[in-house]
Structure 1
Amino acid sequence: MNSRAIEDERVAAQAAARGKPLALAFREPSVRAAMIAIFFFGFSGAATAPYQSVVGIRELGLANGVYAALILLSAAVNVVVSVAVGMLADRLGRTRSLMIATSAFGVVGAALIYLVPSQASFVVSGLVFSPVYGAVNGLLFATVRVATDRLDGDAAGAVNSTVRAALSLSWVLVPGLTALALTGRASMLPAYLISALAALVLLLVIVVMLPREARGAAREIGAAVPDRSALSSILSAGVALRMIALALVCSALHVNGAVLPLIVTGAAEGTVADIGIVVGIVAALEVVFIFVWTRIQRRINSVRALVAGTVLYAIYLALLGLSTAPWHVYALTLLSGFAAAALISIPITYLQDLMRGRPGLGSSLISVNFFMSGGICAAIFAFGTHVTTYGGTSVIGGAAALLGGAMLFALDGRRGAPDV
């Protein structure tokens, strides 16, 4: 193919990504496979996440402290594995074989808990199989990044957001379907069977649908990786500062997850059922509004769009903190869903741009960001609940997010992408 034809294809792809990213996602074989795989990745997680503490503590008898330590260590292992696997993917110049291997961990880990329910199997799965399986998320987005590398930042971001919507869709559908399937059962362990089957489908999607990387293309990608140390790249001042800023922004989502149930059943005088309904409404709205934000990013750059979403989410958290009746919380679902859609989709491309030329490492930063933002949330929750109420903690969480948004705007608001 001559250079003019290649350029024409690139321009056409960018136009398609901006106008109809969903159409481009289904047209590109690797992006199509990654999007379907990400749906089943979310499926496997959403099947067990609502019941994980119930199974671990109530059914298998883990102590609260042991369970808390397990969750923390599992997240830490996931960060280490994700970065290591991302670095390996960049060095090899391919991700398919690594995704097959990490997906298999998901099948074995969930099946182990279902077939051999014990404290030992739960701990081994949480410390080994689940964290390694989690690395497949970054590898899938790395695959999308490689496939959209010929697009400009806004077009690539639109495709990333579309793929992220598939993950959100699984969280809209699966918890309710799983609850329906397990209604009347004395044990929640069958949720892990559902998770194992979903992970198996993910594995089959990768094996059957994801195209093999051409050897020449793999070598070219691997050769394009800069020679400087990957870890030194992450720890450089410019990258570290931006990671902190983005973690402050994304911590708002974790703060909401911590305080929303407590405010709904406390100051707002609602019920446990209200929590589930509100979360379900917001998740459904996120799927819709992700596509709205892809259009907004075309009018203003991605960083400014993320900052705008951050401001709106901070307003939501402040209003949530002032809620005194169930209808107050329901009235905020539109604002929450709209703002959250920006915070769950736009950061993916921003993180990948921090490691240009390293799609595996850049996508592994998704796990790093999740861990950092969760840690910031823990600090905010501990401080906020010590000095004020759950509502006040919500306001503090919004203020922290605004700080992160201001940092991002100062660093990259003019350019629209990180310059490191």
Structure 2
Amino acid sequence: MTALSLILRDPLFRAIAAMAGLYGAVNACIYPYLSLIAVERVGISDATLALVLALASGAAVAASVLFGILADQIGNRRLIALMTVGATVIGTGLMVLAPLPGVMLIAHGVLIPMGTAIFGQIFALNNLATQNHPAQRDALQATVRAVVSAVFLLTLLFWTWGLGTGEHRGGFDVMAVYVTATLAAVLLFALIWRGWPRKGSEPWQDRPLGLNLRAALVELSRPAIAFRLLAMGAIGGLPMLYIILTPLIFSATPERQTSDVALMVGLVAGFEVPFMLALPRLQRALSRQTLIMGGALIYAGFVTLLALFPNGSWLWALPVLAGLGAAPILTLPIGYWQALMEGRPGTAAALMALQRLAGDLLAAASFALGTALGGYTTAALLGGGLAMAGAMALWIADRRV
């Protein structure tokens, strides 16, 4: 039985895939338009927006780490998931009812970022559910991750069309994104309520670990874990660097238009999906570490070519390269952390959040240093080199185990 047929036939896996899709829909509604809404509609200053983004980063990581560890400690993952998505419902709902500066600070600085912790919890549930289907574990992880990207892309295309028609020509006002985000969050909450197995009724073993919070946090700071976090962060930061560089590179290229940015981002996201679905076949012959290294090399090549030749006639072939490289570096870390933290899926979810934080910081450092030394191309080369160094370090570290 293939992973896709198993998802279609099994109610639990159908629910997990639907949860992943609704998570992608919420993100696609909110984040592409966050800065536009904050400055032009809500009326906050650039400095306040920076404060909101800083609070959001801290809240997202803190919630993912604490909720992940707490889920392993008490074993009631359904309750934690409901609390997490409840924060998203409240945050997006507040922006529908009162889009004011103070409300935005609370909603986007604390509540909505807390809700992003559901990403790791969904994959923790998926990992537990695959105990009865161990041969399909990697394929199920890849398929569920592909659902996130596919729904994100479809939602983004919908809003690109809806907002592009203009509110005076029957289109949507940009603030309508919060209505659909709230609706998607409410549906996600309802799906968790009905589809997530209640504590004690799970068809798998999920015993609380009994570690206290301090002991769990100390374990995450062990040198072996910290080293792998930095290595994975260097790899995972490369897609973030691409997101930062693309609009800046295109705006500095006379042959490119602003709309080309959305087209490039959409094409890259679109090509990620088929390669994610094909990834399990490659895992039969190659290790996670080897595939991650190959993905880092390919994605580094994509970012470098994008920076070197933004006016090339073959530019629109690069998304194929990006999708091929992105599939392993976005998908395989999920299984990597779960295998490293066997029996502790909540802690694995916490490590995924810490990896993202490390990636964001290293991407920002690559951008700042690269642009100071030589410009956007230098930043792309620096980020690509850092990703390759991280992939090599990860491969060496795991070869020694």
Normalising by the smaller structure, the TM-score range is: over 0.9
Deviation at 1:199, TM superposition (A): 0.5
**Correspondence 1:403 to 2:385:** no
**Correspondence 1:161 to 2:146:** no
- Separation in 1, partners of 2:157, 2:323: 18
| TM superposition score normalised by structure 2 | 0.93
Question: What is aligned with 1:6?
Answer: none
- Which of 45, 55, 58 aligns to 2:40? It is 58
- Separation in 2, partners of 1:394, 1:147: 39
Deviation at 1:131, TM superposition (A): 2.0
Work out whether residues 82 and 132 of structure 1, in 8 Å CA contact, stay in contact via their aligned partners in 2: yes
Alpha carbons of structure 1 residues 269 and 393: separation in structure 2 relative to 1, 3 Å: farther
- Separation in 1, partners of 2:106, 2:149: 28
**Correspondence 1:73 to 2:55:** yes
Work out whether residues 269 and 326 of structure 1, in 8 Å CA contact, stay in contact via their aligned partners in 2: no
| TM superposition score normalised by structure 1 | 0.89
User: Partner letter of residue 123 of structure 1?
Assistant: L
- Separation in 2, partners of 1:333, 1:132: 31
Deviation at 1:151, TM superposition (A): 5.2
Work out whether residues 30 and 143 of structure 1, in 8 Å CA contact, stay in contact via their aligned partners in 2: no
Question: What is aligned with 2:119?
Answer: 137
Report matched runs for 1:323-334 at 5 Å: 323-334=309-320
Alpha carbons of structure 1 residues 215 and 40: separation in structure 2 relative to 1, 3 Å: closer
**Correspondence 1:207 to 2:193:** yes
- Separation in 2, partners of 1:83, 1:169: 26
- Which of 21, 37, 40 aligns to 2:22? It is 40
- Which of 153, 160, 164 aligns to 1:172? It is 153
- Separation in 2, partners of 1:242, 1:357: 19
Work out whether residues 318 and 395 of structure 1, in 8 Å CA contact, stay in contact via their aligned partners in 2: yes
Q: Please state whether the residue corresponding to 2:188 is helix, strand or coil.
A: helix
Deviation at 1:225, TM superposition (A): 6.3
- Separation in 1, partners of 2:66, 2:296: 30
Deviations 1:374-407 (A, max 9, x none): 0111111110110112122111111110000111
Question: What is aligned with 2:207?
Answer: 222
Deviations 1:39-79 (A, max 9, x none): 00110110111111111111111111211121122111111
Gaps of 5+ in 2: none
User: Partner letter of residue 404 of structure 1?
Assistant: G
- Separation in 2, partners of 1:393, 1:330: 21
Deviations 1:332-377 (A, max 9, x none): 1111111111211111111222322211111122221111100111
- Separation in 2, partners of 1:268, 1:395: 22
Work out whether residues 73 and 209 of structure 2, in 8 Å CA contact, stay in contact via their aligned partners in 1: no
- Separation in 2, partners of 1:289, 1:217: 31
Report matched runs for 1:227-376 at 5 Å: 229-267=215-253, 269-376=255-362
- Separation in 2, partners of 1:411, 1:32: 36
Question: What is aligned with 1:7?
Answer: none
Work out whether residues 225 and 357 of structure 1, in 8 Å CA contact, stay in contact via their aligned partners in 2: no
Alpha carbons of structure 1 residues 254 and 53: separation in structure 2 relative to 1, 3 Å: same
**Identical-pair percentage:** 29
**Correspondence 1:25 to 2:25:** no
Alpha carbons of structure 1 residues 307 and 268: separation in structure 2 relative to 1, 3 Å: farther
Runs of 4+ in 1 over 4 A off after TM superposition: 215-218, 223-228
- Which of 96, 108, 123 aligns to 1:126? It is 108
Deviation at 1:291, TM superposition (A): 1.4
Q: Please state whether the residue corresponding to 1:373 is helix, strand or coil.
A: helix
Alpha carbons of structure 1 residues 181 and 318: separation in structure 2 relative to 1, 3 Å: closer
Question: What is aligned with 2:373?
Answer: 387
User: Partner letter of residue 170 of structure 1?
Assistant: V
Work out whether residues 31 and 143 of structure 1, in 8 Å CA contact, stay in contact via their aligned partners in 2: no
Work out whether residues 127 and 345 of structure 2, in 8 Å CA contact, stay in contact via their aligned partners in 1: yes
Deviations 1:224-251 (A, max 9, x none): 5668921122111111111110000011
- Separation in 1, partners of 2:71, 2:106: 25
Q: Please state whether the residue corresponding to 1:299 is helix, strand or coil.
A: coil
Q: Please state whether the residue corresponding to 2:167 is helix, strand or coil.
A: coil
Deviation at 1:26, TM superposition (A): 3.3
User: Partner letter of residue 161 of structure 1?
Assistant: A
Deviation at 1:213, TM superposition (A): 3.7
- Separation in 2, partners of 1:286, 1:77: 28
- Separation in 2, partners of 1:226, 1:151: 28
Deviations 1:252-289 (A, max 9, x none): 11111111122223247311111111111111111111
Report matched runs for 1:3-22 at 5 Å: 16=1, 20-22=2-4
Cα RMSD, aligned residues only: 2.0
Alpha carbons of structure 1 residues 155 and 288: separation in structure 2 relative to 1, 3 Å: same
Work out whether residues 289 and 391 of structure 2, in 8 Å CA contact, stay in contact via their aligned partners in 1: no
Deviation at 1:106, TM superposition (A): 1.1
- Separation in 1, partners of 2:377, 2:231: 23
Gaps of 5+ in 1: 1-15
**Correspondence 1:117 to 2:99:** yes
Alpha carbons of structure 1 residues 155 and 411: separation in structure 2 relative to 1, 3 Å: farther
